[in-house]
Amino acid sequence: MREPTPGLFLGLISGTSADGVDAALLDLDPDGRPRAAPARDCLPLGEDLRAAIHAAGEDTPLGEACALDRRLAEAFAEAALRLRARAPAQTPIHAIGCHGQTVWHRGGDAGDGATVQLGDPSRIAALTGLPVVADFRRGDLAEGGQGAPLAPAFHAHCWHDPGQDQAVLNLGGIANLTLMPAEGPVTGFDCGPANTLLDTWAHHHLGTPHDTDGAWAASGRVDRALLARLRADPYFQAEPPKSTDPEYFSSAWLAARCRGDEAPQDVQATLVELTAATVAEALAAWGPAGSQRLWVCGGGAHNTYLMARLQAWCSGMAVASTAALGIDPDDVEAAAFAWLAWARLNGVAGNLPAVTGAERAAVLGGLYAPRACT
């Protein structure tokens, strides 16, 4: 087997909010560990493209899906080129790891899962002149897994500490946990909703992309009856491995559990409490018994009120941002896909079967060359 390839890898992802393409340029050592904090950029997506992403789903006509696939590829390529311009001169970027934009994901326990990420990797390769690794999730599905979450393999590779039990919480559209005991296998799963409902509710009632710092939620009060109805959903009691998506925890899901006369700020406060409570309960049920630290990444790490509620619910743990580990919470997801590109080029498994439920570990992603081999 050839020697591992160290150096620069570029990760790209657009999350549930679809507000922009996050890009991270990661310098990895021969063991695939970051040598420094990644350079980063975020390319905002226009409102028309965001609307097209949010409207896409299983009923989208094929022609519209193909057009969106092309538009997203162009946005991903632009984000990569913007960040590449900041790379050290004469230092090659070995590959781009592109997650793409998820427009449909449904994990399956009987080999019937499905996932769709848009952003044509061949077009990204052609526009950037760089090799692109993409289509990560279907490789895990093919091995009988949920196709998600994939970031735990990166968390474990970089941050596992044999001296302490700890966990990583990604607060994106969906909240997902990586459980890293000092000894024993790393596990992880999607806990339930996070920003997908918080942002949608804030946008509907405030006209803003999100509830800045959780200030609006903090002005409300938790509706205990509504919280009980939300927590009664069977997903929260289901055993891992499990994954979910905004199609499940949707506005319709929330509306079906509201009476309709709740004060909007009270619903927002209740949604924050739902995320904090279900994360804490998941840690208590399936996490290491002596977990000392909960490292938080994703956009929710900037929600001051949510972070305070997490600390209240996880009173026995220190709750802190992954910035203390050397990667800003906004950069972790994109950095994970830069690492997954490194893993693909070096024949390293990109999934953890204990996390996704796959029958075996597998090298994930397809490699798309920028031009024909000669």
For CATH 3.30.420.40, the residue range(s) in the chain are 7-147+331-368, 151-325
84, amino acid identity: R
Instruction: Copy the structure tokens of residue 96.
Output: 């781009």
pLDDT per residue as tens digits for the range 269-302: 999 999 999 999 999 999 877 678 999 999 999 9
Rounded to whole angstroms, the Cα distance separating 239 from 253 reads: 21
Task: Say if residues 129 and 139 touch (Cβ distance below 8 Å).
Answer: no
Task: Tell the CATH superfamily of the 7-147+331-368 domain.
Answer: ATPase, nucleotide binding domain (3.30.420.40)
Is the dihedral angle over the CA atoms 48, 50, 51, 52 positive or is it negative? positive
Asked if 140 and 147 touch (Cβ cutoff 8 Å), the reply is: yes
Q: Summarize the confidence of residues 6-33 as an average pLDDT.
A: 94
Residue 350 · residue 150 · CB < 8 Å: yes
Cα 61 vs. chain centroid, distance in angstroms? Answer: 26
Residue 1 pLDDT level (bands cut at 50, 70, 90): very low
User: From CA 88, how far away is CA 354, in angstroms rounded?
Assistant: 38
Q: Which residue has the tokens 């999730």?
A: 137
Q: What pLDDT shows up at residue 372?
A: 59
Token digits for 254? 């929330």
Give me the chain's average pLDDT, please: 93
pLDDT digits (tens, 9 = 90+) for 103-140: 988 876 656 788 999 999 999 999 999 999 999 999 99
Residue 177 has pLDDT above 90, yes or no: yes
Evaluate whether 147 touches 133 at the Cβ level (below 8 Å).
no
Q: For residue 7, which of 36, 23, 22, 29 has the smallest C-alpha distance?
A: 29
Scanning the chain, the segments in alpha helix (DSSP H) are 47-55, 62-84, 121-128, 137-142, 151-159, 195-206, 215-219, 224-231, 251-255, 264-286, 304-313, 332-345, 353-356
Per-residue pLDDT of 342-373, as tens digits, reads 999 999 999 999 999 999 999 999 999 987 55
Tell me the per-residue pLDDT of 300-326, one tens digit each, with 9 for 90 and over. Answer: 999 999 999 999 999 889 999 999 999
* Residue 88: predicted pLDDT: 81
CA angle 105/79/5 to nearest 5° reads 85
Task: Indicate the pTM of the whole model.
Answer: 0.92
pLDDT tens, residue by residue, 52-91: 998 998 889 999 999 999 999 999 999 999 999 988 877 8
> What pLDDT is recorded for position 290?
67
- The yes-or-no verdict on residue 3 having pLDDT over 60 is no
**What is the structure's pLDDT at 111?**
66
Q: Assign domain 151-325 one CATH number from 3.30.420.40, 2.40.400.10, 2.160.10.10, 3.90.1150.10.
A: 3.30.420.40
Helix residue spans in 232-371 (DSSP H):
251-255, 264-286, 304-313, 332-345, 353-356
